[in-house]
């Protein structure tokens, strides 16, 4: 199947080709036609499957085909995201795919001044990508009008609920028209998501492109059993491999992230760390350096496990295994994205073997053990 067969118009096809996409991913193939037809959609899809394009492309086509009746930009599409990082990346995708269509968008999230967000809203904007907390704040200040919203997207709905946004999501949805089109995407489908979907979606098309909590098939996984005190040295050895062209290293704590980044920066390259204690601007600068390739290694806590969408991550390395098994799935989903190959390596000390067993039970498979050959450190 080609993007041309999905009935996207020429401007979007040029944007897709410009982004380097040759053929639609399964979620794009299955979701774009019903979304273009105006159907509500319930999508079970992990990050890295191309789901942003699966909703952004048909939304852009719909809005470009029928300009706002008033002639002035009003909020016609609203995307709710669980994190600032993901909201920013979704906004970038709308900008990239929608170039030349004459549509406007803005991102609304906390951690930064409201000034520019309020200014963009005052000018008028077609598409808003937002985290629920800041959007609700602006709604209460009466600077956001959602009465013309035609399409509402809940992206990573399981994460929205995990973050305690369920009431905010309902209040926001209640401020939009009942006859809107609603698209809900979630990596997992627990009972709470099923209940939310039942309340918010009308006769939805259901699309599932991967089993729940199953990592991308292209991720080559391995675990190394090491002593806790040897982890940093082993990490340096792994990163010395020339096949590691762009690596995300995950730790459980902010303190560990800083320490690992400082240790690695004692070598021949600068390494960034990103976590909740960093300011929004510092995190965005670190992500920009990583995305451009000026830093090869980025150390992150689970804050970024779902929020980072960077093409070409060759390796995810779990310096520490996460406290909950599903976080492992989200971490390794940062590589092998949109059809590319990738590798996930985990350093496991004796105290983490229980966590490893839980991860293997969740995935219903054993992670192969990698034994490093003896050699220079």
Domain finish residue from 188, 208, 228: 208
**CA pseudo-torsion sign 230, 366, 156, 45:** positive
- Do 248 and 316 touch, CB atoms closer than 8 A? yes
Residues 364, 336: contact at Cβ < 8 Å? no
Same-domain pairing of 193 and 148: yes
Looking up residue 313, the CATH number of its domain turns out to be 3.40.50.300
Contacts of 74 (CB under 8 A, 6+ apart): 68, 124, 126, 145, 148
Q: Return the structure tokens found at 48.
A: 């890295």
Same domain, 79 and 166: yes
Q: Are residues 246 and 164 in the same domain?
A: no
Whether 50 and 190 map to the same domain: the answer is yes
- The token pair that represents 286 in the structure block: 């670190």
Of 164, 187, 208, the last residue of a domain is: 208
Does 26 fall in a domain? yes
Q: Pick from 178, 208, 238: which residue ends a domain?
A: 208
Helix (H) or strand (E) holding 291: helix 280-292
Cα-based angle 155, 334, 336 (whole degrees, multiple of 5): 110
Is 166 in the same domain as 224?
no
What's the pLDDT at 70? 67
Assess if residue 170 is contained within a domain.
yes
How many domains does the chain fold into? 2
Sign of CA dihedral 87, 89, 94, 99: positive
State which residues form the domain around 162.
4-208
Distance CA 145, CA 234 (A): 53
Query: What does the pLDDT read at residue 46?
Result: 72
Q: With 0.85 as the threshold, say if the pTM is over it.
A: no
In terms of domains, do 182 and 251 share one? no
Shared domain for 167 and 247, answered yes or no, is no
Residue 295 lies in a domain: yes
Pairwise CA distance, residues 153 & 81, whole Å: 9
Task: Please list the pLDDT of the chain residue by residue as tens digits (377 residues).
Answer: 788 899 898 889 988 888 777 788 889 999 999 999 999 999 988 766 788 999 999 999 999 998 776 667 799 999 999 988 889 989 999 999 998 898 999 999 988 889 999 999 998 999 999 999 999 999 999 999 999 999 999 999 988 887 789 999 999 999 999 999 999 999 878 888 889 999 999 999 999 885 544 555 678 999 999 999 999 999 999 999 999 999 999 999 999 999 999 999 998 889 999 987 888 788 888 988 998 999 999 999 986 655 677 888 999 999 999 987 778 888 888 887 766 779 999 999 999 999 999 888 877 789 999 987 655 44
Instruction: Tell me: do 101 and 20 sit in the same domain.
Output: yes
277 found inside a domain: yes
Residue 25 is predicted with a pLDDT of 86
Asked if residue 104 lies in contact with residue 125, where contact means CB atoms within 8 angstroms, the answer is yes
What's the rounded Cα separation, in Å, for the pair 57 and 151? 13
Q: How many residues does the chain have?
A: 377
377 is a domain residue: no
Nearest to 321 by CA among 285, 345, 296: 345
Does residue 19 sit in the same domain as residue 151? yes
Residues 200 and 229 in one domain: no
Specify if 373 maps to a domain: no
The torsion region of residue 214 among left (phi > 0), alpha (psi -120 to 50) and beta comes to beta
Same domain, 131 and 261: no
Quick one: 99 and 204 in the same domain? Answer: yes
- Res 212: pLDDT: 44
Examine residue 282 and state whether it is found in any structural domain, yes or no.
yes
Please indicate, yes or no, if residue 375 is contained in any of the structural domains: no
Give the strand order in the sheet containing 151-154.
105-108, 127-130, 77-80, 151-154, 181-186, 41-44, 205-208
- Give the CA radius of gyration of the chain: 21
Task: Give 37's contacts (C-beta < 8 A, 6+ positions apart).
Answer: none
Residue (of 48, 70, 84) closest to 248 by Cα position: 48
Query: Is there a contact between 84 and 284 (Cβ–Cβ < 8 Å)?
Result: no
């Amino acid at each position: 199947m080609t993007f041309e067969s999905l009935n996207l118009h020429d401007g979007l096809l040029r944007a897709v080709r410009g982004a380097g996409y040759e053929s639609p991913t399964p979620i794009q193939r299955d979701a774009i036609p019903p979304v273009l037809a105006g159907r509500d959609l319930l999508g079970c899809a992990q990050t890295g499957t191309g789901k942003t394009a699966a909703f952004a492309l048909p939304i852009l086509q719909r809005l470009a085909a029928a300009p706002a009746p008033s002639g002035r930009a009003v909020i016609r599409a609203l995307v709710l995201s669980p994190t600032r990082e993901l909201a920013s990346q979704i906004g970038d995708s709308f900008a990239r795919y929608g170039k030349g269509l004459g549509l406007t968008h803005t991102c609304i999230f906390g951690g930064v001044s409201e000034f520019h967000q309020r200014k963009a809203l005052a000018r008028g904007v077609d598409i808003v990508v937002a985290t629920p907390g800041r959007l609700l704040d602006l709604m209460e200040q009466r600077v956001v009008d959602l009465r013309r919203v035609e399409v509402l997207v809940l992206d990573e709905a399981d994460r929205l609920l995990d973050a305690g946004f369920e009431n905010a999501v309902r209040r926001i949805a209640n401020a939009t028209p009942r006859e809107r089109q609603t698209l809900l995407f979630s990596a997992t489908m627990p009972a709470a998501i099923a209940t939310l979907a039942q309340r918010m979606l009308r006769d939805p098309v259901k699309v599932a492109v991967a089993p729940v909590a199953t990592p991308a098939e292209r991720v080559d996984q391995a675990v190394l059993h090491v002593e806790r005190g040897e982890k940093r040295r082993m990490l340096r050895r792994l990163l010395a491999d020339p096949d590691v062209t762009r690596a995300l290293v995950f730790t459980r704590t902010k303190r560990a992230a800083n320490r690992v980044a400082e240790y690695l920066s004692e070598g021949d390259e600068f390494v960034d760390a990103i976590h909740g204690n960093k300011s929004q601007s510092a995190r965005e600068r670190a992500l920009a350096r990583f995305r451009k390739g000026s830093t090869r290694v980025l150390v992150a806590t689970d804050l970024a496990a779902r929020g980072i969408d960077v093409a070409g991550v060759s390796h995810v390395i779990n310096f520490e295994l996460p406290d909950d098994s599903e976080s492992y799935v989200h971490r390794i989903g940062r590589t092998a994205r949109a059809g590319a190959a990738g590798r996930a390596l985990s350093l496991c000390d004796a105290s983490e073997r229980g966590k490893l067993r839980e991860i293997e039970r969740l995935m219903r498979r054993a992670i192969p053990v990698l034994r490093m050959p003896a050699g220079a450190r």
